[in-house]
Structure formats: C-alpha cells, structure tokens
C-alpha cells in the first residue's frame, strides 16, 4: 500500500512537471538528441567520448571537456598523452584511464554510426557498444544511445536509482551487475509506460526531480 501511494505520488509530480516550463526544457533536449542522430560518425564519436568521461564523474565535467575538445577535433585526433594532459588540466580525476579508453575508442571514430545503424534495435546497439568500447557499461551505453536519439533504454545512474528506491520501486543493490541492471531497467520501462513517456524522456524528468536540472 505504501509503495502504491509513493508510485502514485511520483506520477503526480511528473504530470505537474509536464504541465510546467520543465516540459519545454525536456523537449528541447529531445530535439537536440534527434538532431545529433542525423549527424555523422565523428559527431557520434564525440558524444561517445562525453559518455566515457561521465562514468563515475559528472555531466558538468564531461560537458566542460567536450566543449573544449570539439572545436579542436581533440577526441578524434589527439594522442593519448595529449588527451591525458587536457583531462588533468581540466581537473578530471581519472585522467590516465579515460585517456586510454578514448584513445582505444578512436578505432571507431570514422565508422561508429555506420556500425550502430546497421544493427536492428537499441538493445543490439547497446550490446555492441558495451562489448567493443572499453570503459562503457550498460549505463554509459544507454546514455550514449539516448543522446544520439534512441529513447527506449534506461539510464540507471545514481540519481535515477535513488529516485526509484525512494519511491518504492527497488532497493539499490550493493553491486549493479549486468543482470541486476536489466532487471531494474525492466521496472523503469514498465513505469515509463504507465506515465506514457519513453524511458529516455522519463530519465530527464526524474533527473530534474533529483537535481533541479535538465542535462544531457
């Protein structure tokens, strides 16, 4: 009974957001994602690198580095040492490991979109990303695919997990294995259907409830 009450309260809060100016912010983000979907391999690769950087870090830090690198083609052309220096200078904590990941990912800077659009569905695309891009798990893979216009995956970061736990959907597991991720994602998707939103849209509303912001 308590869980049902919390669930209904959350639905009401989401509905209130949809009737507020937050909806404009969410719709603007979704439009940006759809526009990025139309762009080419290199634009998709830049977004992949952004998502590599957000793992165990923050969206703000990833955005700051992405904005610095983009006009310089840094993600695509810099050496591992050059990437490492940028990350360190910008105050990024895991500069050694993430520079390595981005350098390894450069193998697909010219064919990333081509490969992914050849695969049938978002889940197959995510599996490819997780299996072929070092430093990317289900969460980061979902984040990347949402940001290039695929809205049917759950981005289960700490904000979303906390929101789900606080509203009686789950207990946050000590270790988020692949199986547990998929189980929680199923619950997330079920709720997204209840509120008539795609998972990638629901994520933005819940993120706003937890942080007061709508970020990519």
Residues tagged active-site: 139, 157
Element (H, E) at 53: helix 41-54
Q: Between the CA of residue 104 and those of 49, 55, 76, 98, what are the distances in Å?
A: 11, 16, 11, 10
Cα 10 to Cα 167: distance, rounded to the nearest angstrom: 7
Q: Are 89 and 96 a contacting pair, CB within 8 Å? A: no
Cα 74 to Cα 80: distance, rounded to the nearest angstrom: 10
Q: Between the CA of residue 216 and those of 37, 175, 183, 184, what are the distances in Å?
A: 14, 25, 24, 21
Cα 174 to Cα 165: distance, rounded to the nearest angstrom: 13
Task: Identify the three-state secondary structure at position 88.
Answer: helix
């Amino acid at each position: 009974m308590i869980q049902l009450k919390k669930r209904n309260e959350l639905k009401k809060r989401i509905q209130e957001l949809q009737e507020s100016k937050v909806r404009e912010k969410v719709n603007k983000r979704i439009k940006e994602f759809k526009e990025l979907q139309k762009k080419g391999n290199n634009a998709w690769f830049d977004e992949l690198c952004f998502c590599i950087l957000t793992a165990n870090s923050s969206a703000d830090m990833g955005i700051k580095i992405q904005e610095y690198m983009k006009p310089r083609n840094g993600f695509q052309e810099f050496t591992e040492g050059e990437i490492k220096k940028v990350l360190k200078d910008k105050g990024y904590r895991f500069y050694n490991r993430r520079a390595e990941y981005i350098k390894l990912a450069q193998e697909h800077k010219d064919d990333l979109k081509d490969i992914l659009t050849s695969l049938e569905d978002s889940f197959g695309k995510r599996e490819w990303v997780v299996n072929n891009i070092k430093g990317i798990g289900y969460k980061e893979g979902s984040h990347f695919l949402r940001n290039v216009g695929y809205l049917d995956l759950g981005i289960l970061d700490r904000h979303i997990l906390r929101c789900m736990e606080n509203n009686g959907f789950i207990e946050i597991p000590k270790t988020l294995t692949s199986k547990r991720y998929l189980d929680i994602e199923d619950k997330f998707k079920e709720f997204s259907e209840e509120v008539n939103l795609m998972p990638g849209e629901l994520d933005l509303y819940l993120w706003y409830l937890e942080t007061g912001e709508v970020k990519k």
